[in-house]
Amino acid sequence: MFDGLVAVVTGGGSGIGRACVEALVADGARVGVFDLDPGAPDDPRVHGVRADVADRASLIAGMESVAEAFGGVDILINNAGISAVGTVEDNDDAEWARVLDVNVTGVTRTTAAALPYLRRSEAAAIVNVSSIAAGAGLPKRALYSASKGAVHALTLAMAADLVGEGIRVNCVAPGTVDTPWVARLLAKADDPQAEKRRLAARQPTGRLVTAQEVAAAVLYLASPAAGAVTGMSLAVDGGMSGLRLPARG
């Protein structure tokens, strides 16, 4: 599906991003992995770039090096993001600035760095990774939800700005996904196993989403098969946002 195409995945060193990199390569793409720690990929189809979505210069240099290695950039997956826990009283101004800088401005910086290359592509697509927190009120996620709501709004605005140039922009909105991120959150809980069961039960499918399931949705939106899809959000959340089931028991 991606033969001859080049993708850049931010946050491609772990979790959902890594699953996207693996799925894209398996489907024929060559991939630039932008991460604070991109690892040392031992595959000529993968080009690791130490890049920080909070640092514009690293993104511009990273896009240049991917284009030099693979001949261009067709697809951008804006996946890098960081967590924030708490109500509006729990995070100070510096933390608000830090998280919004990575989760929101990180998307705009990376996209601006990629656009000169995407404009030369016949199959240009951007997929942003939002969250169920953009559309559902979750407790103690004020800052994180604000950041992901902004990613959803940005997806629509970017799609409107770029549709005339043939560049599609969509997002995915995952529920709770079994990644190192969630493992870190669980490790802080009083009873990690009970907390994991609680998170799984919150999703109507009764389990956490897998990173591969999110990657499959990202790949669809990034692929030429979704050529008529732009400005959309695709929930990958085990039914959490859409279903209203009777209480169990």
Question: Which parts of this chain interact with ligand NAD (CB under 6 A)?
Answer: 10-11, 13-17, 34-37, 51-54, 79-82, 102, 129, 131, 174, 176-177, 179-182
Q: How far is the CB of 28 from ligand NAD (least distance, A)?
A: 23
Query: What b/e sequence results for 64-93 when a residue is b if at least 16 CB atoms lie within 10 Å of its CB, and e otherwise?
Result: eebbeebebbbbbbbbbbbebeeeeeebee
Q: Which of these is catalytic: 144, 154, 181, 237?
A: 144
Q: How far is the CB of 34 from ligand NAD (least distance, A)?
A: 6
Of 37 and 90, the one with the shorter C-beta distance to ligand NAD is: 37
Distance from the Cα of residue 152 to its chain's centroid = 11
Q: How far is the CB of 164 from ligand NAD (least distance, A)?
A: 28
Of 6 and 127, the one with the shorter C-beta distance to ligand NAD is: 127
Of 20 and 123, the one with the shorter C-beta distance to ligand NAD is: 20
Alpha carbons 144 and 245: distance in angstroms, whole number: 27
Token pair for 177: 């996904």
Quickly count: other Cβ atoms within 10 Å of residue 155's Cβ: 26
Q: How far is the CB of 98 from ligand NAD (least distance, A)?
A: 10
Would residue 220 show up in a list of annotated catalytic residues for this protein?
no
**Given phi > 0 = left and psi -120 to 50 = alpha, else beta, which region is 165?**
alpha
Of 7 and 123, the one with the shorter C-beta distance to ligand NAD is: 7
State how far the alpha carbon of 16 is from the alpha carbons of 9, 80, 86, 123, 225, in Å: 10, 9, 23, 23, 21
Q: What is the 3-state secondary structure (H, E, C) of 15-60?
A: HHHHHHHHHHHHCCCEEEEEECCCCCCCCCCEEEEECCCCCHHHHH
Q: How far is the CB of 103 from ligand NAD (least distance, A)?
A: 7
Of 139 and 246, the one with the shorter C-beta distance to ligand NAD is: 139
Amino acid identity at 64: E
Q: List residues with catalytic annotation.
A: 144
